[in-house]
Amino acid sequence: METEKKIAITFDDGPNPNTLLILEVLKKHNVKAAFFCIGKNIEKYPEIFEQVISENHIVANHSYGHSSLFDFFRKSQVIDELNKTDSIIAKVLGKKPLFFRPPYGVTTPSIRRALEVTKHKLIGWNVRSLDGIIKNEKIIFNRIIKRVKPGAIILMHDTTFESVSVLEQLLLFLKKNNYKVVAIDQLLNLKAYEN
Ligand SMILES: [Zn+2]
């Protein structure tokens, strides 16, 4: 029986210089999150990616290029994107990530067929903050807390400045309301990495 109100927080689209501000807030509140990283951004900001790992957050695959045409990619193109980002991650982490979230969260038949080959687990969300679209921190915050419930997976973006203060307010809200923020592998009882 579920005795605790558990939720997980996930960040898409990094790493990015703004990720450092997110890491600071997470550290202050002693919270572990998951970062769905874009391969080409890891290549651009390797030190920031290493810091995410050294602070024991989960890292996962969010494609290599985050193409706006990703929905139209064939199975082989999706596999290429996944493998490329896996090896970039594995070079730093020493192991392959098993979690994948498609760009824009859209899962196509090609993506499904690709995942059967690559063996990644598709990780969605059920609370979308719209922090990449709305630029008003109060509205973003209210959107999230209205939708939070036990088992929630919150989608945020570590690439937007607004999400830093929203995260701070959110963590205070969750604490006050007896929510426990756990890492997503724990929430879903799934392995985040190979081995
Ligand atoms: Zn994304």
Query: Residue 143 is which amino acid?
Result: R
Q: Which of 81, 127, 126 is nearest to 102 (CA)?
A: 81
pLDDT at 102 over 70: yes
Distance 2 CA to ligand 1 centre (A): 31
Cα 27 to ligand 1 centroid, rounded to whole Å: 23
- Separation of CA 1 and ligand 1 centre (Å): 34
Q: What is the pLDDT of residue 105?
A: 87
The values of phi and psi at residue 128, to 5°, are -100, 120
Instruction: Identify the CATH assignment for 5-188 out of 3.40.190.10, 1.10.10.10, 3.20.20.370, 3.40.50.10540.
Output: 3.20.20.370
- Residue 2: the pLDDT is 53
Q: Over the chain, what is the mean pLDDT?
A: 95
pLDDT tens-digit profile of 159-187? 999 999 999 999 999 999 999 999 999 99
Active-site residues: which are they?
Answer: 12, 157
Can you tell me the distance from the alpha carbon of 100 to that of 62, in angstroms, rounded to the nearest whole number? 6
- The partner residues of 12 in beta bridges, in order of sequence, read 36, 157
Task: Give yes or no for residue 145 having a pLDDT over 80.
Answer: yes
Closest CA to 63 of 12, 20, 16, 4: 12
Dist CA 32 CA 8 (whole Å): 8
Domain range annotation of the chain: 5-188
